Structure 1
Amino acid sequence: MAKGKAAGGARRGPRPARPQPTPQKRPKPAPRPEVGDAAGPPRTFRLGAIPGAMPGKWIERWRERMPRVPLELVPIPVADQRAALNAGEVDAALVRLPLPGDADAVHVIRLYDEVPVVVAAVDSSLLAADELTADDLAGEVLITPRDDVLGPLGLPTEPPRFEAPETTEDAIAIVASGVGIAVMPMSLARLHHRRDVDYRPLSGGPASTVALAWRRDRDSDDVQTFVGITRGRTARSSR
Structure 2
Amino acid sequence: MTDMQVNPSFRLAYVPGVTPGKWARVWGERLPDVPLDLVAVPSTEGERTLREGGADAGLVRLPVDKDVLSAIPLYTETTVVVFPKDHWLAAAEEVALDDLAEEVVFHPLDDTLGLTAETLPGRPAIARPDTTEDAVELVAANVGVLLVPQSLARLHHRRDLTYRPVAEAPQSQVALAWPQERTTDLVEEIIGIVRGRTVNSSRGRGAAQPAQAQPKGEPKKAAAQRKPQQQAGGQRAGGSKAGGQRSGGQKPGAQRSGAPKGRGGPAAARKGKPKRRG
Q: State TM-score, norm by structure 2.
A: 0.68
4+ residue stretches of structure 1 with deviation over 3 A? none
Residue 21 (structure 2) aligned to one of 42, 56, 60: 56
Q: Which runs of 5+ in 2 are unaligned?
A: 204-278
More helix by share: 2
User: How well do the aligned residues superpose, as a CA RMSD in angstroms?
Assistant: 1.8
CA offsets per residue over residues 191-226 of structure 1, 9 Å max, x none?
A: 111111111000111110000001111111111011
- Residues 56-95 of structure 1 mapped to structure 2, 5 A cutoff: 56-95=21-60
In 2, the alpha carbon distance for the partners of 1:169 and 1:63 equals 32
- Check conservation: 2:14, 2:60, Cα contact below 8 A: yes
Q: Report deviation, 1:68.
A: 0.6
2:194: which partner in 1?
230
In 1, the alpha carbon distance for the partners of 2:17 and 2:202 equals 31
In 1, the alpha carbon distance for the partners of 2:8 and 2:137 equals 41
Residue 139 (structure 2) aligned to one of 150, 169, 175: 175
2:270: which partner in 1?
none
Residue 142 (structure 1) aligned to one of 83, 101, 105: 105
Q: Report deviation, 1:95.
A: 0.8
In 1, the alpha carbon distance for the partners of 2:24 and 2:140 equals 34
In 1, the alpha carbon distance for the partners of 2:183 and 2:39 equals 18
- Check conservation: 2:74, 2:174, Cα contact below 8 A: yes
In 1, the alpha carbon distance for the partners of 2:38 and 2:124 equals 37
Residue 157 (structure 1) aligned to one of 113, 122, 135: 122
Aligned length: 199
- Paired AA for residue 168 in structure 1: T
Residue 185 (structure 2) aligned to one of 211, 214, 221: 221
1:27: which partner in 2?
none
Percent identity of the aligned residues? 49
In 1, the alpha carbon distance for the partners of 2:32 and 2:176 equals 22
Higher deviation after alignment, 147-156 or 224-233: 147-156
- Check conservation: 2:110, 2:130, Cα contact below 8 A: yes
Q: Report deviation, 1:177.
A: 1.2
Residue 105 (structure 1) aligned to one of 60, 68, 87: 68
Q: Report deviation, 1:66.
A: 0.8
- Check conservation: 2:189, 2:202, Cα contact below 8 A: no
CA offsets per residue over residues 162-183 of structure 1, 9 Å max, x none?
A: 3211111110111011111000
Q: State TM-score, norm by structure 1.
A: 0.79
1:190 counterpart = 2:119: no
In 2, the alpha carbon distance for the partners of 1:145 and 1:183 equals 10
Cα 1:55–1:78 change in 2 (3 A) is same
1:203: which partner in 2?
167
Cα 1:184–1:41 change in 2 (3 A) is closer
State the SS of the aligned residue for 2:11: strand
In 2, the alpha carbon distance for the partners of 1:176 and 1:148 equals 18
1:130 counterpart = 2:93: yes
Higher relative contact order (CA 8 A, sep 6+): 1
